[in-house]
Amino acid sequence: MGRLFGTDGVRGVANADLTAEMALGLSVAAAHVLAEAGTFEGHRPKAVVGRDPRASGEFLEAAVVAGLASAGVDVLRVGVLPTPAVAYLTGALGADLGVMLSASHNAMPDNGIKFFARGGHKLADELEDRIEHVYDEHRRGEPWQRPTGSGVGRVRSYDEGFDQYVAHLIGVLPNRLDGLKIVLDEAHGAASRVSPEAFSRAGAEVITIGAAPDGLNINDGCGSTHMGQLKAAVVEHGAALGIAHDGDADRCLAVDHTGAEVDGDQILAVLALDMRERSALRSDTVVATVMSNLGFKLALEREGLKLVQTAVGDRYVLEEMKQHGYALGGEQSGHVIILDHATTGDGTLTGLMLAARVAATGTPLRELAAVMERLPQVLVNVPDVDRGKVGTSAELATAVAEAERELGGTGRVLLRPSGTEPLVRVMVEAADIEQARAVAGRLADAVKSALG
The range of the structural domain enclosing residue 282 comes to: 168-369
User: What pLDDT sits at residue 419?
Assistant: 67
Residues 6+ apart with CB under 8 A from 106: 11, 112, 219, 247
Domain assignment present for 3: no
Please tell me the distance from the alpha carbon of residue 349 to that of residue 338, in angstroms, as a whole number: 8
List helix spans (H) across 227-364.
Answer: 228-237, 264-277, 294-302, 314-324, 347-361
Q: Is residue 4 part of a domain?
A: no
Sign of the C-alpha dihedral, residues 10, 11, 16, 18?
positive
Q: Indicate whether 63 and 146 sit together in one domain.
A: yes
pLDDT tens for the chain, residues 1 to 452: 457 888 778 999 999 999 999 999 999 999 999 999 999 999 999 999 999 999 999 999 999 999 999 999 999 999 999 999 999 999 999 999 999 999 999 999 999 999 999 999 999 889 999 999 999 999 998 888 999 999 999 999 999 999 999 999 999 999 999 999 999 999 999 999 999 999 999 999 999 999 999 999 999 999 999 999 999 999 999 999 999 999 999 999 999 999 999 999 999 999 999 999 999 999 999 999 998 999 999 999 999 999 999 988 888 999 999 999 999 999 999 999 999 999 999 999 999 999 999 999 999 999 999 999 999 989 999 998 888 888 888 899 999 999 999 998 789 999 888 766 778 999 999 989 999 999 999 999 999 988 87
- The residue from 139, 160, 181 where one domain ends is 160
Instruction: Please give the positions annotated as active site.
Output: 104
Which residues, other chains included, contact 144 with Cβ-Cβ below 8 Å and sequence gap of 6+?
28, 32, 70, 71, 138
Q: What is the dihedral of CA 167, 168, 169, 171, to 10 degrees?
A: 80
In a domain, 5, yes or no: no
User: What pLDDT is recorded for position 1?
Assistant: 47
What is the DSSP-derived secondary structure letter of residue 7? B
Shared-domain flag, residues 223 and 353 = yes
Domain termination residue (choose one: 311, 344, 369)? 369
Position 2 scores a pLDDT of 55
Residue 281, in any domain of the structure = yes
Residue 2 lies in a domain: no
Residue 127: what pLDDT? Answer: 94
* Residues 347 and 253 reside in one and the same domain: yes
User: Of 350, 369, 388, which one is at a domain's C-terminal end?
Assistant: 369
pLDDT of residue 420: 63
334 and 385: one domain? no
Are residues 240 and 96 part of one domain? no
Q: What is the β-pairing status of strands 377-383 and 261-262?
A: unpaired
185 with 89, same domain: the answer is no
Statement to judge: residues 354 and 393 lie in one domain: no
- Which CATH number is 29's domain given? 3.40.120.10
248 is in an annotated binding site: yes
Total H helices, total E strands in the chain: 14, 18
d(CA 182, CA 241): 5
Do 309 and 386 lie in one domain? The reply is no
395 falls within a domain: yes
**DSSP per position, 69-104:** HHTT-EEEEEEE--HHHHHHHHHHTT-SEEEEE--T
- Domain co-membership, 357 together with 400: no
pLDDT of amino acid 225: 94
**Count of domains for the chain:** 3
Whether 325 and 389 map to the same domain: the answer is: no
The answer to whether residues 324 and 412 belong to one domain is no
In-domain check, residue 54 = yes
CATH number at residue 437: 3.30.310.50
**pTM confidence score:** 0.92
220, 192: one domain: yes
